[in-house]
């Protein structure tokens, strides 16, 4: 039998028995993990969540939980704010500084309204 280590995975074929089974395993409970768990459960999956520490949040908690939802969403329009996807991109570029990753801006703007509406219902 393989020796148990805190630094390398234990071979699955050597696990004598499993205590739990799930359709979906979500690793981490930050913003992405929470959304993944909610969506999977809403779709009828049995979800198991794994978190290495006692609280939720992940990198989202480290950022203060701030999520910039802009680009001309229905929420902004209803609140009387004017914004465009181009203004959102300019803000993200300025906020990111010299290390700003332009590849991460895909999906920003009004096309994200489905995810935003899902978050509003939670």
What's residue 46's pLDDT? 98
Give the per-residue pLDDT at 9.
86
pTM for the model stands at 0.50
**By percentage, how much of the chain surpasses pLDDT 90?**
25
Give the residue among 59, 67, 54 at the shortest CA–CA distance from 122. Answer: 67
pLDDT of residue 18: 87
> ∠ CA(58), CA(32), CA(102), 5° rounding?
95
pLDDT tens per residue across span 12-38: 899 888 899 999 999 998 888 999 999
The pLDDT of residue 27 is 93
Query: How many angstroms separate the CA atoms of 2 and 14, rounded?
Result: 7
Residue 57's pLDDT band (boundaries 50, 70, 90)? confident
The per-residue pLDDT for 80 is 92
In angstroms, the CA 56 to CA 64 distance is 13
Q: Which residues contact 91 (CB under 8 A, 6 or more apart)?
A: 68, 70
Segment 60-118, tens digit of pLDDT: 777 666 667 788 888 889 999 899 988 888 887 787 766 666 555 545 444 555 555 55
């Amino acid at each position: 039998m393989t020796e148990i280590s805190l630094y390398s995975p234990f071979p699955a074929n050597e696990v004598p028995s499993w205590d739990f089974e799930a359709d979906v395993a979500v690793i981490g409970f930050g913003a992405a993990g929470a959304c993944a768990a909610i969506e999977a459960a809403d779709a009828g999956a049995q979800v198991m969540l794994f978190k290495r520490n006692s609280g939720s949040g992940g990198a989202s908690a480290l950022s203060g939980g701030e999520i910039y939802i802009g680009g001309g969403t229905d929420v902004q329009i209803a609140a009387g704010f004017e914004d465009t996807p181009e203004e959102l991109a300019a803000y993200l570029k300025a906020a990111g500084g010299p290390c700003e990753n332009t590849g991460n801006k895909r999906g920003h703007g009004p096309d994200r309204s489905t995810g935003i509406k899902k978050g509003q219902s939670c």
